Amino acid sequence: MPTDRKAQDIESLKEAMSSCTIAISTDYSGLNVSEMSELRTVLRDSGIKYKVVKNTLLGIAADEAEMPAIKDLIDGTTAIAFGYGDEQAHAKIITKYVEDSGVGLKIRDSLIGSQIFTSDQLKHLANLPGKEELAAKLVGQLHGHLASLVYVLNNPLSRLARTLNGPSSNLVNVLNARVQQGS
């Protein structure tokens, strides 16, 4: 029977697991206290919960939350970064922090939905453009094609208008010239 503290930890992990969109497993054994504190601050400011977990408690919480795939992230000293929302943005934040800061944090596997991603796959995901950037590129592409379509559709109509307008303006010019000759 788990103690009250362990039961609270299990509930907290279940809650974090059930609502997260990405869970990134890390080995924090290379971090000192100040590096861990800085990491937690950076992740918290980005909407990511970072929890140092006991492997047995994480396993129990995974079973109770009906997310057995998360148990595949457990290996040695484990801390899990739980992200909520844009998975790619969260992957980018944590991988960029590790690269830029040079701390001893090791990114292991991650879980997105029910699929396990290796650390290399997570790095590839982090290097992809974000959802907003992709949406902007798509809008730009669509705008260019729509402008071309409008031009193509308008071109025959404007040529027809110029063709029909040509003889009438010539007729007006001829009549004006005759009127001026007769005066």
pLDDT at 156: 72
* Total-model pTM: 0.70
Query: Backbone phi, then psi, for 79, in 5-degree steps?
Result: -130, 140
80 - beta bridge partners? Answer: 25, 51
pLDDT at 157: 67
3-state SS string over the chain? CCCHHHHHHHHHHHHHHHHCCEEEEEEEEECCHHHHHHHHHHHHHCCEEEEEECHHHHHHHHHHCCCHHHHHHCCCCEEEEEECCCHHHHHHHHHHHHHHHCCEEEEEEEEECCEEECHHHHHHHHHCCCHHHHHHHHHHHHHHHHHHHHHHHHHHHHHHHHHHHHHHHHHHHHHHHHHHHHC
Beta carbons of 19 and 83 less than 8 angstroms apart: no
Q: Which CATH code, of 1.20.1050.10, 3.60.90.10, 3.30.70.1730, 3.40.50.300, is assigned to 4-128? A: 3.30.70.1730
Per-run averaged pLDDT (10 residues), the chain, 183 residues? 82 89 90 90 92 90 87 86 91 91 88 90 88 83 76 69 67 75 71
pLDDT at 116: 92
